Amino acid sequence: MHIPFEPELFGITINIHLVLEYLAFFVAYRYYVYVRKQNHDHINSLNRLSIILGAALGALIGSRLVGFLENPLIKFSAINLINILNTKTIMGGLFGGLLGVELAKKIIGEKQSSGDLFVFPIIMGIFIGRIGCFLSGTNEFTYGCETTSIFGMNLGDGVLRHPTSLYELVFLIVLFFSLNYVKNNIKLEQGDLFKIFMLAYFGFRFCIEFIKPNIFFVYGLSSIQLLCIICWLYYSPFIFQKIKHAH
């Protein structure tokens, strides 16, 4: 199979990344509905809907904002403006969604943690989306730097690069089964599973950004890595609490 993978249907080139992106949203939502039916949801349906709407709005704003911050020095033009508006990143979506949920919960007065039911659907959605990123090769800014290692792949530009999307797919599989084990074998408080997921995923992304051709603005870190640090600081009380209880 040639990368980028650009199948044609009735003479029309299919944007495989866009197709898989929409599929990711659909499958993740259907999986969430299934998970909610299989587990007792301590949040009523109306409040849960408000939380989902808050997450969606926060994710929409966050994904675009962080997408722009990945390259804020871009030359202003009509084409670049359109590209900026279309640029989005899952990292901004996740953290923006988190803030959107917290704001929605404050507005409706919901005190209980709400993230655990979203964990596995989110992982599933990211997994499907990353397949699209891999198949798009260098058409999507998710590829890695040049490498001479055995993992190097030609992603469309004739250069051997780290297939960072494949690395992430492997990580997501490990994360899915690890969190499932933790959920079934370790006693957790409400919301802990989501916090562990966020810390693990943002920690992984912080590390893998070093082998991507990013623009590193502050202290040798990219905007994504700075967001990862912000996320870890946001959850620092949770981290210190678990360390304290471990002793």
pLDDT (tens, 9 = 90+) of the chain, 247 residues, equals 678 777 777 778 888 888 999 999 999 999 999 998 888 778 888 888 888 898 889 888 888 777 766 665 555 555 555 555 556 688 888 999 999 998 998 898 888 887 889 999 999 999 999 999 888 888 877 888 999 899 988 988 888 999 999 999 999 999 999 999 999 998 888 889 999 999 999 999 999 999 988 776 677 888 889 999 999 999 999 988 888 776 5
104 and 130 both lie in a single domain: no
58 and 131 both lie in a single domain: no
**Which domain, by its residues, includes 98?**
43-111
For 146, left (φ over 0), alpha (ψ -120 to 50), or beta? beta
2 and 106 both lie in a single domain: no
Question: What per-residue confidence (pLDDT) applies to 99?
Answer: 92
Question: What per-residue confidence (pLDDT) applies to 188?
Answer: 87
- 111, 137, 165: which is the final residue of a domain? 111
194 and 237 both lie in a single domain: yes
Into how many domains does the chain fold? 2
63 and 81 both lie in a single domain: yes
118 and 99 both lie in a single domain: no
Distance separating alpha carbons of residues 235 and 56, to the nearest angstrom: 21
DSSP 84-134: HHH---HHHHHHHHHHHHHHHHHHHT--S---GGGHHHHHHHHHHHHHHHH
Q: What distances in angstroms separate CA 159 from CA 138, 139, 144, 145, 146, one per listed residue?
A: 10, 14, 10, 9, 7
- Torsion sign (Cα): 29, 30, 34, 40: positive
Distance separating alpha carbons of residues 32 and 172, to the nearest angstrom: 17
132 and 213 both lie in a single domain: yes
Q: Beta strands 153-154 and 160-161: pairing type?
A: antiparallel
223 and 173 both lie in a single domain: yes
Question: What per-residue confidence (pLDDT) applies to 185?
Answer: 92
- 76, 111, 146: which is the final residue of a domain? 111
95 and 17 both lie in a single domain: no
- 59, 89, 111: which is the final residue of a domain? 111
- Torsion sign (Cα): 118, 66, 130, 183: negative
124 and 236 both lie in a single domain: yes
Q: For the full predicted model, state whether its pTM sits above 0.75.
A: yes
14 and 53 both lie in a single domain: no
How crowded is residue 241: how many other Cβ atoms within 10 Å of its Cβ? 13
143 and 93 both lie in a single domain: no
